[in-house]
């Protein structure tokens, strides 16, 4: 449990991934704005700037900051209005998570073995999460054989967080290294791939944790569904296509010893043509 007292604290927690996952980043940023003295418009703008700079790819951050700022600006009591809006965002994301779970479970009821990447559960989004919420719902309905979890290099969200969540949920899983996943998909033992998303462009291209694109290619080659789950707060209608999405470049020290020339992109873009369906709280877009 983290106790964060200022927008700068929240931004720092987001930057170092103590708070991560697109919907949760958005909710936290909303509360981050609400922590600042709302009577001082310049304090709110500064807070927004600090939070916006924390991570560039998940659009939920920008959406939540914008909402809380707008709510505070026009209000008689800006502090209460900011807090109420931050709470509303959290409640909406919780409800979205449940709806995504239902829609996604309907779509993937026959998949059997499902492969997932990164962490998209209750540690990444309010409520039950996104892709992992679909998996949990399938398990609850008795429609899931097991989950194949990728490690998710470089920071191991799959190995450290998804395995923890699946263990707690009592859902059978196996962990594999990222490089093993395309081969397992090609072998025919995976029924579907489901992942979350950090930004969906207006044309349907999807930015998600680095390593997602190879899974989409493998799924297309094996002719199995490649499904993306996320709330509509992750859709960026102002962003025409995947090439317009800013991909966060993290410190190479996360992947290589100091002095080794290394590059560390945190996300990649999967073209819409490789996405079988996008599951949102409003339903399934094919």
Q: Which residues bind ligand MRU (CB under 6 A)?
A: 17, 20-23, 58, 118, 120, 124-125, 129-130, 157, 195-198, 208-209, 266
Q: Is 12 labeled as catalytic in the residue annotation? A: no
Which residue, 196 or 204, has its beta carbon nearer to ligand MRU?
A: 196
Q: Which residue blocks in the chain are alpha helix, DSSP H?
A: 7-15, 22-34, 41-52, 59-73, 78-107, 131-140, 157, 163-169, 181-186, 212-222
Active-site hit among 9, 40, 98, 198: 198
**CB 187 to ligand MRU: min, Å:** 24
Residue 45: left (phi > 0), alpha (psi -120 to 50), or beta? alpha
Closest CA to 282 of 235, 248, 237: 235
Which residue, 35 or 124, has its beta carbon nearer to ligand MRU?
A: 124
Residue, CB closest to ligand MRU: 196
Question: Would strands 277-280 and 192-195 be described as parallel, antiparallel, or unpaired?
Answer: unpaired
**CB 210 to ligand MRU: min, Å:** 8
Distance (Å) of CA 31 to CA 59, 160, 190, 195, 260 = 16, 26, 39, 26, 39
d(CA 232, CA 93): 9
**CB 2 to ligand MRU: min, Å:** 16
Residues 6+ apart with CB under 8 A from 102: 137
**CB 184 to ligand MRU: min, Å:** 19
Which residue, 119 or 225, has its beta carbon nearer to ligand MRU?
A: 119
**CB 40 to ligand MRU: min, Å:** 31
Sign for the pseudo-dihedral over CA of 210, 245, 129, 8: positive
Which residue, 82 or 275, has its beta carbon nearer to ligand MRU?
A: 275
Which residue, 130 or 190, has its beta carbon nearer to ligand MRU?
A: 130
**Helices 22-34 and 7-15 meet at what angle, rounded to 10?**
160
Catalytic residues: 198
């Amino acid at each position: 449990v983290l106790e964060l007292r200022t927008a700068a604290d929240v931004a720092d927690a987001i930057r170092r991934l103590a708070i991560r996952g697109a919907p949760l980043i958005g909710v936290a940023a909303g509360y981050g704005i609400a922590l600042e003295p709302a009577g001082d418009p310049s304090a709110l703008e500064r807070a927004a700037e600090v939070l916006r700079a924390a991570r560039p790819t998940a659009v939920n951050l920008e959406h939540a900051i914008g909402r809380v700022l707008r709510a505070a600006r026009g209000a008689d009591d800006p502090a209460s209005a900011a807090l109420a809006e931050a709470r509303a965002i959290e409640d909406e994301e919780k409800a979205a998570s449940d709806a995504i779970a239902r829609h996604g479970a309907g779509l993937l009821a026959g998949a059997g073995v499902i492969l997932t990447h990164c962490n998209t559960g209750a540690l990444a989004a309010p409520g039950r999460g996104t892709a992992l919420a679909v998996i949990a719902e399938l398990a609850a309905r008795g429609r899931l054989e097991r989950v194949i979890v990728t490690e998710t290099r470089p920071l191991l969200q799959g190995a450290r967080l998804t395995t923890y969540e699946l263990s707690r949920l009592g859902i059978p899983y196996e962990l594999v290294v990222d490089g093993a996943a395309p081969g397992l998909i090609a072998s025919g033992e995976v029924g579907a791939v489901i992942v979350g998303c950090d930004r969906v462009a207006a044309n349907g291209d999807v930015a998600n944790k680095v390593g997602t694109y190879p899974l989409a290619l493998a799924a297309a080659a094996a002719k199995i569904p490649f499904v993306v789950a996320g709330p509509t707060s992750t859709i960026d209608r102002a962003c025409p296509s995947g090439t317009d999405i800013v991909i966060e470049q993290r410190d190479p020290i996360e992947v290589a010893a100091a002095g080794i020339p290394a590059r560390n992109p945190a996300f990649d873009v999967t073209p819409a043509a490789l996405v079988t369906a996008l599951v949102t709280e409003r339903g399934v877009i094919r």
